[in-house]
A and B are shown apart, each in its own frame.
Chain A
């Protein structure tokens, strides 16, 4: 038994010293990782002799409600590896400048004796410009001093502001919540200078468009502890074991609490193993499954049996009792716009009547105008923006009619389209006649439209499916099988268990959802399909319920104060915050390779839906729907000067002048002529992100059109045959950007493609703040050690 002797022999147990030594650290400092993992885990950083030796989970999370399991342990295999980076061979230690650029700059500076002139000369010389642009991504960096790097950066800023305007200076940094001060540093710098911030949440495809569509909310979800309160969890497009590593235990633990768990995924993934059921739905087809689930729920729990909890919830918290006009279009009857309160005699004189809407009171049969609409929010009167069953204009209590089934003037056959197989159906809908100031109109309720859309036969005639087995009829369990590969029995079992659970627990069914769904072209529709099942069973706004979308660490908890500091609004109005997907689509010239969306999107034929996405972007910018910087084909300071020359004295007069110039087409939005040199983005700051690679949708087009360096695209330009508004130049410009500056602690792909790399302090070397959707705590990042080598915090660099 020699091994036992070995274990107790002090001599052979020397290996234990390793562990004892580990605990001989000098200090322990709390920090976390700013990596957009959404974990937001508190870590202890152990320091000895000024060196970070290791990190451990902090393990001191407070306990929430006593019925919930604790948040511990938080932290994963990736987080615990972080300290490797501090002293790794890929650490950025010094400022670095691309050799080809620094040679050009030094030569010009020696000639002119002036940094600004040197930069201007390089930019005026196409050959010089090509030379350093073509070197991008091909090594050749030189170590530089901070002063050398800052001089070139400052020269390029001043040159760009003077020649083109500050809206040609752009910055990209993602997900402020992971290290919000580091984000704010660059952002404050850019905004005080008049530069542009690119958005990230939408660009990363982490923004669920359905949230604004349904709730007017960017994203708002449950913290992971609340999963434990759920009694039925459907998990789709989210591989919790893999990507929600510190939180997945709540999913596992919930099963000990009696929760049923179902995982939808095309592959047998890491969370499927925790689930009661794995539904191997065809990739991207989850929406079809949910459409059928809602079909069953509506039929069995809203119509066959009117489940009181569901009906009450739907009436009170959704738009279902609101009246919608039925309109005729090309000889067919279709649903139109919401009926405006201002269009009926009773309310025709109320303020913002176009933005207030109508219900019918079940007791009196009269029209009522519920408070809480956008019209009530912005009409200047206080106290009416609420969800009370109270007519906001008359103060009278009411109880809304959900369906006109029992009380209507006629049944009309409306047309509904199922886009999967492009089938149209005429379906009976109950309608009432309403006198408006524009004559008689026919209306129905949103609820009645939903019943018809989902194909719930209520004896109104028309093409309603009679059974669940009709494959051609939307949206039956048999219909969805063609798309999802999942048998109808699974849908029935799922829908009934879901509804019974929601009924019994008053809404404790939830969906956990993620990038696996949100990254599809029709993500908003798939999300809406799932959300319908939640709303119709009263599972939103309930502990244990919810549409719990976790993609990206978007929740910046103290956003109220932070937003002002990051945007410089403590000093000035007017910030340039750019929608990044449109910016990249246009500026990296990807639009030129894009066919007409109407050929791959599935849309009815009409003027708007047949537009190329680039033309739609131009329209969106002109109409004020979407921002776009650079703004105009002229420096914005010159525009104001011209306006003043033309006699404008006040801000309003300047605006009038600009409007006049736009009308005369003397001034053109940059978005409409992106390939004109004057409209190129010029300087790009990248920090806290991998903008040229990791997040660069269309990476090869970035290399070609932004950077002007080698790339592997062989894509064909096709847009010219479709676009009408956006100007297509015969020449497709390459290498639009003058300078790319990257703050980094890691030599990553973006660093290697940049012109200047600045050494940034890592997450154990700086003061910062971190918050997440996954929990409701706010964490510090702390300088456990001073920034190593010549690195500095982002705040100090931008300062």
Chain B
């Protein structure tokens, strides 16, 4: 039994006009309406491998993304004509996904982005729903088929498709929502228009129904410095963790070239004023800490940084330049997520209502980290 939340781009978007909690007796629990749905699945654990390596028959029912679907049974059948790329499971024949390249070609062959006929069908379906003329957009691309070897041979621009909102005819640069503005296709919102006003009950109750300004949470209330005590001259700073120059997240930062070009670690950038106040000179070792944890690194004192904030470009690895922490009794120091803790903004959890409806990576509270405050102080002794 698989629990499924109420989903965006489904009729679930029109399920809950009010916030009512069945568990409190405020309404009846109705799966898919006032509560999540449940799907009963037959799962044969001995068949997982067979299914993994073959493309299943449900593709015959069509594919869709962002509420834009198309039929592709004929293309699925054509895949079965390709005798070199088949799997047989229980006597039935399926397109093979066994090898990486077969999987790549299945994605490309069945996507409206790389199969122009499917893009055209998706626009034709959109015409029915909207009552607008749209299929002219894909007319010229009907014969486009891009496969994996094509991509290796030369760079291909993909087709436009109603899955995405930018118009790309005649080598036009992609800009979002040109499809909506020029073709009068609604946004996938409550009114179909761009929303100034968010009338979900939760938004009204959290005071975010109208565009507004709210101050950043105060460090005392955020609660990450309840127990941390400085052992030397220290200062509370707002720590920012932007994307860095000598790495992409944590990758590349540990390569010889990037270590050589940078300081060999990700330092804590401090303003000249704050550093002077703390008796910290450029390249001194410092501890950046709060109740959550500690990161020990060198200071980079720079006129570029304003007072009151410090920067630690994310993301650092614990695999190099990580000394023991003084402030936490000689235990190995951590990294830039050592001083963070998750804080969820509750109104971003509401659902079952227009655009406020769950979809994977589309809706829900996010892992914020920029309102974090730390103490920064100089390390007296550096031990590895």
Contact = CB atoms under 8 A, between A and B. Distances in A.
Nearest to A648: B40
Interface stretch (A119-127, A254-262, A382-390, A726-734): A382-390
A405 B21 CA distance: 40
B52 A617 contact: no
A712 B325 contact: yes
Query: Contact size class for B?
Result: 35 or more
A171 B176 CA distance: 32
Given A377-B13, A698-B340, A88 B213 contact: no
Interface stretch (B135-143, B275-283, B365-373, B375-383): B365-373
Nearest to B112: A560
A593 B341 contact: yes
Interface string B210-251: 111111111001111011100000000010111111111111
Given A529-B213, A620-B349, A319 B196 contact: yes
Nearest to A337: B199
A642 B342 CA distance: 37
Contacts, number: 762
Given A420-B215, A778-B158, A283 B309 contact: yes
Nearest to A650: B40
B258 interface: yes
B45 A161 contact: yes
B194 to A, nearest CB: 5
A78 B259 CA distance: 11
Given A220-B164, A617-B344, A701-B341, A769 B104 contact: yes
A718 B223 contact: yes
Interface string A35-53: 1110000100000000000
B125 to A, nearest CB: 10
A581 B166 CA distance: 30
Given A387-B193, A622-B35, A796-B100, A595 B256 contact: no
A297 interface: no
Given A523-B368, A558-B114, A609-B206, A542 B181 contact: yes
With most chain A CB atoms within 10 A of its CB, the pick from B43, B112, B258 is: B43
Contacts of B196: 318-320, 446-447, 450, 532, 535
Contact of A625 (B4, B156, B247, B352): B352
Contacts of A579: 358, 360, 364-365
B346 A611 contact: yes
A64 B350 contact: no
A601 B217 contact: yes
Contact of A525 (B31, B214, B338): B214
Given A446-B197, A560-B163, A524 B192 contact: no
Contacts of A569: 56, 58
Given A60-B155, A576-B2, A752 B319 contact: yes
A385 B250 contact: no
B172 A543 contact: yes
Given A446-B197, A581-B365, A698-B292, A222 B340 contact: no
A62 interface: yes
A778 B354 contact: no
Contacts of B367: 202-205, 580-581, 584, 697
A493 interface: no
Most central of B48, B187, B212 by chain A CB within 10 Å: B212
A203 B367 CA distance: 5
B175 A336 contact: no
Nearest to B243: A243
Given A161-B45, A565-B97, A640 B165 contact: no
A694 B249 contact: yes
B223 A694 contact: no
A711 B43 contact: no
Contacts of A319: 189-191, 193-197
B351 interface: yes
A520 B216 contact: yes
Contact of B155 (A35, A62, A318): A62
A229 interface: yes
B307 to A, nearest CB: 10
A446 B199 CA distance: 10
A624 to B, nearest CB: 4
Nearest to A161: B45
Contact of B57 (A30, A199, A532, A570): A570
A780 B156 CA distance: 10
A371 interface: yes
B164 to A, nearest CB: 7
A616 to B, nearest CB: 4
Contact of A335 (B179, B209, B304): B209
B379 to A, nearest CB: 14
A359 to B, nearest CB: 10
B11 A280 contact: no
A166 to B, nearest CB: 8
B264 interface: no
B308 to A, nearest CB: 8
Nearest to A651: B40
Interface string B138-151: 00000000101001
B186 A698 contact: no
Contacts of A576: 2-3
A656 B118 CA distance: 40
B65 interface: yes
B334 A778 contact: no
B337 interface: yes
Tell me which of B13, B206, B238, B244 has the highest count of chain A C-beta atoms within 10 A of its own C-beta.
Answer: B206
Contact of B131 (A65, A189, A386, A541): A386
Contacts of A697: 337, 340-342, 367, 369
B178 A543 contact: yes
A104 interface: no
Contacts of A548: 176
B2 A385 contact: no
B168 A782 contact: no
A66 B170 CA distance: 10
Contacts of B226: 715-716
B334 A712 contact: yes
A347 interface: no
B53 interface: yes
B293 A561 contact: no
B101 A597 contact: no
B78 interface: no
Interface string A528-557: 110010010000111111111000001001
Given A377-B129, A623-B19, 12 more contacts: A84-B256, A214-B194, A355-B14, A373-B186, A387-B180, A420-B213, A540-B177, A564-B110, A574-B2, A623-B22, A693-B317, A749-B250
Counting from the closest, the 8 A-B pairs by CB-CB distance are: A625-B351, A372-B192, A541-B181, A383-B131, A570-B56, A558-B111, A574-B39, A574-B2
9 contacts: A81-B255, A88-B256, A220-B165, A283-B309, A523-B368, A565-B106, A597-B344, A623-B16, A624-B34
